[in-house]
Structure 1
Amino acid sequence: MVAVRAIEVREFGGPEVLVPAEVPEPAAGAGQVVVGLAVADVIYLDTLLRSGWGGEHFPVKPPYVPGNGGAGTVLAVGEGVDAAWVGRRVVAPASGAYAEQVVADAAEIVEIPDGLGFAEAAAMLHDGATAILLARAGQLREDETVLVAAAAGGAGSLVVQLARDAGARVVAAARGERKLALARELGAEHAVDYSADGWQHRAREVAGGAGGAGVDLAFDGAGGALGKRVFETVAPGGRFVTYGTSEGGFADIDQRTAEERNVQVTNLLAGGPPAQSVRQAALVEALDLAAAGRIRPSIGATYPLARAEDAHASLARRATVGKSLLVV
């Protein structure tokens, strides 16, 4: 039996349950390809699933190989797949991606544009597509004031850039000066530390408007209690888009309060993950924008595959600034 290197979760728990392992070399079935991964994406959801969270929505059970995709080269194709894919550089959504090789549906892979490296492409797999979908949901407009919470995260840092390019004035909210500095570098006019008490009032003040009324649009990449405070920054008649679960759940916004303030509330994930075709189109757009230099992922940390534990531990401590990746 030929084996490949991987990371396994053998029981739910903290980062220490991520252990190096060898698993059987995958084979492509009908309509599938085998991708030799160069870089695996790491997202916060990976850490929640590893801890045992979300079983009602994400039915994973140990032992399993975590990860939901990455970037690499097509090694083999299955029945019904054009052999011309072999040797092409692709971004591949696929489960079990903390591994040297992964099986992906041929219909879901996307070729990496020329001039874009594996790391940048892998960083766009989830966060790039999410940022595009967020921008659409929020209806970014020129001359509006937009607050981006978790502005130094993988998706948030891209939303900052998309809002800047749309001609909006960006207020970034993040924890700590390192993250705030990154947000300013990416185009935020103002940056507010949300570890400080009353930060939401400060955000409304810097946003301007009548009596510091608040922002026209807020993106909540945090969820939970912090997400509720993000909602408080929105001016009457504004828009609030939430997608974050970093506190273990979405922001629970009172519908009556939203109606009284005439604030439009959109939960990007309320109906479950977007359809595959929708996400794929958003990924293609994100990759093209990155290849053109319009947006760039902020890759804050890369780790060898065997050190996946360190990647998760850093995310848990909120120590990672920007995107985390595993180099295979």
Structure 2
Amino acid sequence: MKAAALTSFGGPEVLTLMDVPEPEAGPGQVRIRVRAAGVQHFDTGIRTGWAPPSIDLTFPVVPGNEFAGTIDRTGEGVTGLPLGTEVLGYSTTGSYAEYVVVPADQIVAKPDGMPWEIAGGFSANGQGAHLCLSQMQINPGDTVLIHAAAGALGTFSVQLARAWGATTVIGTASEANHAYLRSIGAIPITYGEGLVERVRAVAPNGVDAAMDNAGPDALRASVELVKDKNRIRTMISDEAAEELGVPALGPSRNADRLTELTKLYEQGHIKLHIRKAFPLAEAAEAHRELEKGHGRGKIVLSVA
């Protein structure tokens, strides 16, 4: 099969289209004919040689941890999932390919009418936002601060906070993305010096919870603004979080979380802006686009 893979670690140029063996579905697994795959910062880390301790990166490495497509084969013990069923789901690696194999409990039904590009880029950032916000205990009436709110993770976070009843959502972003933030229900605030004062000006009664997607400076600003550190989470600043006494994230992705998000999509609470869709052969360009920073919405690969 065709896959965007790498045989050495490095910059985007190491990610090339090549032929790799087709994976087979084992017991409890399904094989998906991939239609679209999301592009994540997790994937760019894999490309440079980073990996969580649980992953053994053996060349050729196929990145990609979220996908959408149709069930192509099922392994022993898998029931209730007919071939041809349209699904979206998540993996750790392997999604930048024509086929991906995952446990059957890592997929959910694709909502009718959800475009493939949105479905392919829905799982990872959606679940990351859900994970953070649920641990931040978002309540009706809350004022919530989302750093780096215009990106895919921020886009999900803003809309999910609103869906869960937050009265005010403040989003940090570059000025070019302020109109976009207003369109998804956030009050935009510019990054940089004076951020704490700007937030206090639009939230004179204080900030109840904050999510950092931008880095240590944003996390430190959050600690200044939020009284209870238990209501702060970060997706990227683990060392600063430990230093500041901000709790680490808990459990990871699961199908129940993803199902809840697809229902919110069907109800119109979540919309995902596709920044750009690249063909599988241009995965390197997709990584370059992601690593520019300050973009809005999601980058995806169209596989078939």
> What's the TM-score, normalizing by structure 1?
0.84
Q: What residue identity is the alignment partner of 1:99?
A: A
SS for the counterpart of 1:178 is: helix
The change in CA–CA distance for 1:299 and 1:217 in structure 2 (over 3 A counts) is same
CA distance in 2 between counterparts of 1:169 and 1:38 reads: 37
Picking from 215, 223, 227, the partner of 2:219 is 227
Q: Report the alpha carbon displacement of residue 108 of structure 1 after superposing the two structures with TM.
A: 2.0
Unaligned regions of 5+ residues in structure 2, if any?
none
Q: What residue identity is the alignment partner of 2:168?
A: R
Q: What residue identity is the alignment partner of 1:81?
A: V
The change in CA–CA distance for 1:92 and 1:55 in structure 2 (over 3 A counts) is closer
- In the other structure, the counterpart of 2:84 is 87
- In the other structure, the counterpart of 2:249 is 268
The change in CA–CA distance for 1:33 and 1:216 in structure 2 (over 3 A counts) is same
CA distance in 1 between counterparts of 2:68 and 2:242 reads: 40
CA distance in 2 between counterparts of 1:128 and 1:287 reads: 9
Q: Report the alpha carbon displacement of residue 170 of structure 1 after superposing the two structures with TM.
A: 1.1
SS for the counterpart of 1:107 is: helix
SS for the counterpart of 1:120 is: helix
- Asked whether 1:241 is paired with 2:240, we answer no
Q: Report the alpha carbon displacement of residue 28 of structure 1 after superposing the two structures with TM.
A: 1.6
- In the other structure, the counterpart of 2:297 is 322
Is the 1:215–1:238 contact (alpha carbons within 8 Å) kept by the matching residues of 2?
no
CA distance in 2 between counterparts of 1:83 and 1:41 reads: 26
**Cα deviations across residues 2-31 of structure 1 (Å, max 9, x unaligned)?**
xx1101121111111111111122222222
Say which structure is richer in strand: 1
SS for the counterpart of 2:25 is: coil
Q: Report the alpha carbon displacement of residue 192 of structure 1 after superposing the two structures with TM.
A: 1.2
Pairing 1:280-319 to 2, within 5 Å after superposition: 280-319=255-294
- In the other structure, the counterpart of 1:149 is 147
**Cα deviations across residues 210-236 of structure 1 (Å, max 9, x unaligned)?**
xxxx411111112334432333332x3
Identity of aligned residues (%): 37
- Asked whether 1:205 is paired with 2:204, we answer no
- In the other structure, the counterpart of 2:238 is 250
Q: What residue identity is the alignment partner of 1:252?
A: A
CA distance in 2 between counterparts of 1:167 and 1:31 reads: 39
Picking from 3, 8, 11, the partner of 2:5 is 8
- In the other structure, the counterpart of 1:113 is 111
Instruction: Report the RMSD for the aligned CA atoms in angstroms.
Output: 2.2
Q: What residue identity is the alignment partner of 1:72?
A: G
> What's the TM-score, normalizing by structure 2?
0.90
Unaligned regions of 5+ residues in structure 1, if any?
259-264
- Asked whether 1:69 is paired with 2:66, we answer yes
CA distance in 1 between counterparts of 2:87 and 2:213 reads: 27
Q: What residue identity is the alignment partner of 1:52?
A: G
Picking from 208, 213, 220, the partner of 1:216 is 208
The change in CA–CA distance for 1:314 and 1:74 in structure 2 (over 3 A counts) is same
Q: What residue identity is the alignment partner of 1:170?
A: V
Which of the pair has the greater relative contact order for Cα pairs under 8 Å at 6+ separation? 2
Q: Report the alpha carbon displacement of residue 58 of structure 1 after superposing the two structures with TM.
A: 4.3
Pairing 1:88-103 to 2, within 5 Å after superposition: 88-94=85-91, 95-103=93-101
Number of equivalences: 301
- Asked whether 1:38 is paired with 2:35, we answer yes
SS for the counterpart of 1:76 is: strand
Pairing 1:103-182 to 2, within 5 Å after superposition: 103-165=101-163, 166-174=165-173, 176-182=174-180
